[in-house]
């Protein structure tokens, strides 16, 4: 499987401009990966004022993702703000070229940025299979909570869509590698660049890491780019068989 991370600046709360920028990257890409992975809140930037920019589950952003996936022949995924009744969710959405859809609501809301005051946290993980890989999608701050991403031999690819600031660059790199090593999985982190309206600066550093904790593809800092890698299930299966860490894992259940 080939995956590609789209590292781009995000126009503040301007969905149409962000769609335009992403379409330019996707449709000028000479490759057709199995999956394009976008950053957190790729259509607005990380806003904690959801009411004016949120949308129902099936609306403008969903339709853009569905149309783009079908047009390119690649699945597309990332998070954006979804409203359901009086609740707002930071929701990861994955759409295949055929329109198959999987969603996950961000569990760990960034309290230092006020996210927990405006959004409702998710209550469950989702693991789905796409083209032979079992995938667990998570969002940004979830990266800091290893229990939530613990692999109970359930998945092969761990995805993080993020708006991770430059001030915590080393944390981003360290934790992405740690999650890959401890869970014996491929790990992909898609991050943005630029400075948002709150003054937060983002460095990019999008990367794809193998189960040994080695970065096999890294995005340039502070530059828009596509970060790609081919993931081999045969290689992952062989490594897990040679060094079977997951068989010694602790068994547990989540309690809310």
The band of 254, judged by pLDDT with boundaries at 50, 70 and 90, is: confident
Q: What is the dihedral of CA 83, 84, 89, 94, to 10 degrees?
A: -90
* pLDDT score at 226: 98
* pLDDT score at 77: 99
Share of the chain above pLDDT 90, in %: 97
Backbone angles phi, psi at 63, to 5 degrees: -65, -35
Report CA 85 to chain centroid distance, whole Å.
Answer: 25
- pTM score of the predicted model: 0.97
pLDDT tens profile 120-151: 999 999 999 999 999 999 999 999 999 999 99
pLDDT surpasses 80 at 255: no
- The end-to-end CA distance of the chain, in Å, is 35
CB-based contact 40:20 (threshold 8 Å): no
CATH topology of domain 2-248: Nitrilase/N-carbamoyl-D-aminoacid amidohydrolase (3.60.110)
* pLDDT score at 253: 80
Structure tokens at 59: 């609306």
Structure tokens at 21: 């920028």
pLDDT surpasses 80 at 168: yes
pLDDT tens profile 20-36: 999 999 999 999 999 99
Q: Is 177 helix (H, G, I), strand (E, B) or coil?
A: helix
Of 243, 217, 196, 242, nearest to 8 by C-alpha is 196
The catalytic residue positions are 40, 106, 140
* pLDDT score at 137: 99
Question: Greatest CA separation found in the chain?
Answer: 52
The band of 256, judged by pLDDT with boundaries at 50, 70 and 90, is: low
Q: Stretch 43-69: mean pLDDT, rounded?
A: 98
């Amino acid at each position: 499987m080939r995956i590609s991370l789209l590292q781009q600046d995000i126009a503040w709360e301007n969905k149409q401009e962000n769609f335009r920028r992403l379409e330019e990257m996707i449709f000028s890409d000479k490759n057709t990966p199995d999956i394009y992975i976008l950053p957190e809140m790729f259509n607005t930037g990380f806003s904690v004022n959801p009411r004016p920019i949120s949308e129902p589950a099936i609306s403008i952003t969903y339709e853009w993702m569905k149309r783009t996936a079908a047009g390119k022949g690649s699945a597309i995924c990332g998070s954006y703000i979804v409203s359901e009744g009086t609740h707002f969710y930071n929701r990861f959405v994955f759409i295949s070229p055929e329109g198959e859809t999987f969603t996950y609501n961000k569990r760990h809301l960034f309290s230092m940025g006020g996210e927990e005051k405006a959004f409702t946290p998710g209550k469950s993980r989702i693991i789905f299979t796409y083209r032979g890989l079992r995938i667990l999608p998570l969002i940004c701050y979830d990266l800091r909570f290893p229990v939530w991403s613990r692999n109970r031999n359930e998945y092969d690819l761990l995805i993080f869509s993020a708006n991770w600031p430059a001030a915590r660059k080393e944390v981003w790199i360290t934790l992405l590698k740690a999650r890959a090593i401890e869970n014996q999985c491929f790990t992909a982190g898609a991050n943005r660049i630029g400075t948002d309206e709150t003054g937060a600066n983002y460095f990019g550093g999008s990367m794809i890491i193998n189960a040994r904790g080695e970065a096999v593809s890294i995005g340039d800092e502070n530059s828009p780019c596509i970060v790609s890698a081919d993931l081999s299930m045969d290689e992952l299966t062989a490594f897990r068989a040679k060094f079977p860490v997951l068989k010694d894992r602790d068994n547990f259940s989540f309690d809310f």
